[in-house]
């Protein structure tokens, strides 16, 4: 008789609970939806309370289990509250953490203000570190269940990108943080930690401005999008092997792949690139 096919009747993430930051929209929201369809309970952490709740409700309507936790991930109180609420939602367990919240605040090097710099480093590096540290009691465990951390980076952090000094440094920094988690928590606890570095993904950040904005930790509104963005696709696809801009679903599938049992022996790696993820 032929060997049975790889099969996950309850979904590839059945019985697991995930925190996904920046999951109110874009790549994070799509990741939460795909995780949920694979049997995972998902915690939608985002500074945008209204959109976070709407995303959680749409996942519940889709048949999943979701909880919105609103807050600014650069605040210590938010991190403590997020981990506590997520662990309660997960019945005392957390299995997956995706550090995805982020945006760029670009300028040429000579024009970057300290506040601009500090905001981007704190959002992309300090917050993921503090969240991983706060979640440590739920990852440094030996219960035989999978544990996985994914940090979302960018090709700017791998190749650099003119105008993005702070973002490129921060996204590169995530690679070192991730590899360190893999080395500290892998041997004893089997925790896997990987970075997914996206190239060009079509979200509100990368298309022409629509009036949408990010609320910065200082409360100021930061307009998103740029003219000549990925909605003008032909300008950008020349060095992308697949000759198309990725969708949030393409991006979310890459994250799902990394946390799935199909990648059970992959840790400390960076997957991603322009059409190469």
The residues assigned a catalytic role are 167
* Cβ contact 217:72 at 8 Å: yes
CB atoms within 10 A of CB 137: 11
Instruction: Quickly tell me which residue has 């307009």 as its tokens.
Output: 223
Report in angstroms how near the CB of residue 180 gets to ligand NAD at its nearest.
19
Report in angstroms how near the CB of residue 258 gets to ligand NAD at its nearest.
14
Closer to ligand NAD at the Cβ: 84 or 264? 84
Site for ligand NAD in 4-33 (CB under 6 A): 21-22, 24-28
Report in angstroms how near the CB of residue 179 gets to ligand NAD at its nearest.
18
Q: Is 197 left (phi over 0), alpha (psi -120 to 50) or beta?
A: beta
* Cβ contact 67:17 at 8 Å: no
Candidates 53, 72, 106, 250; binder of ligand NAD (CB under 6 A) is 72
> For the window 147-186, what string marks contact with ligand NAD as x by the rule CB under 6 A?
-----x-x--------------------------------
Candidates 201, 254, 256, 259; binder of ligand NAD (CB under 6 A) is 201
- Is 96 a residue that touches ligand NAD (CB under 6 A)? no
Closer to ligand NAD at the Cβ: 13 or 27? 27
∠ CA 41-191-138, nearest 5°, is 55
For the CA atoms of the chain, what is the radius of gyration?
18
Closest CB to ligand NAD: residue number: 26
- Is 217 a residue that touches ligand NAD (CB under 6 A)? yes
CA distance 109 to 219: 24
Instruction: Evaluate the CA torsion angle 173, 249, 146, 81 in order and state its sign.
Output: positive
CA distance 70 to 80: 12
Q: Would you state the structure tokens that stand for residue 176, as one six-digit string?
A: 């070192």
Stretch touching ligand NAD by CB under 6 A, among 84-92, 96-104, 142-150, 172-180: 96-104
Candidates 43, 69, 123, 277; binder of ligand NAD (CB under 6 A) is 123
* Cβ contact 11:96 at 8 Å: no
∠ CA 176-181-71, nearest 5°, is 90
Q: Which residues bind ligand NAD (CB under 6 A)?
A: 21-22, 24-28, 46-48, 72-74, 100-103, 123, 152, 154, 198, 200-201, 203-206, 214, 217
């Amino acid at each position: 008789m032929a060997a049975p096919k790889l099969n996950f009747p309850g979904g590839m993430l059945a019985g697991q609970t995930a925190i996904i930051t920046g999951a109110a929209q874009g790549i994070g929201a799509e990741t939460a939806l795909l995780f949920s369809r694979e049997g995972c309970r998902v915690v939608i952490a985002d500074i945008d309370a209204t959109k976070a709740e709407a995303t959680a409700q749409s996942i519940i309507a889709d048949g999943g289990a979701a909880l919105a936790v609103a807050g600014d991930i650069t605040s210590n109180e938010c991190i403590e509250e997020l981990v506590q609420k997520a662990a309660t939602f997960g019945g005392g367990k957390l299995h997956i953490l995706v550090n995805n919240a982020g945006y760029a605040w670009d300028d040429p090097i000579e024009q970057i203000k300290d506040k601009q710099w500090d905001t981007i480093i704190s959002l992309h590096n300090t917050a993921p570190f503090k969240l991983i540290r706060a979640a440590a009691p739920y990852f440094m465990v030996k219960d035989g269940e999978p544990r996985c951390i994914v940090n979302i980076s960018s090709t700017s952090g791998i190749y650099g990108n003119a105008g993005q000094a702070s973002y490129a440094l921060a996204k590169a920094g995530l690679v070192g943080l991730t590899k360190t988690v893999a080395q500290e928590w892998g041997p004893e606890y089997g925790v896997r930690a990987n970075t997914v570095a996206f190239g060009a993904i079509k979200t509100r950040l990368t298309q022409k401005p629509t009036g949408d904005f990010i609320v910065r930790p200082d409360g100021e509104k930061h307009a998103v999008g740029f003219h000549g963005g990925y909605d003008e696709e032909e300008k950008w696809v020349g060095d992308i092997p697949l000759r198309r801009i990725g969708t949030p679903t393409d991006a979310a599938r890459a994250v799902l792949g990394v946390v799935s049992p199909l990648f059970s022996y992959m840790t400390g790696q960076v997957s991603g690139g322009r059409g190469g993820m």
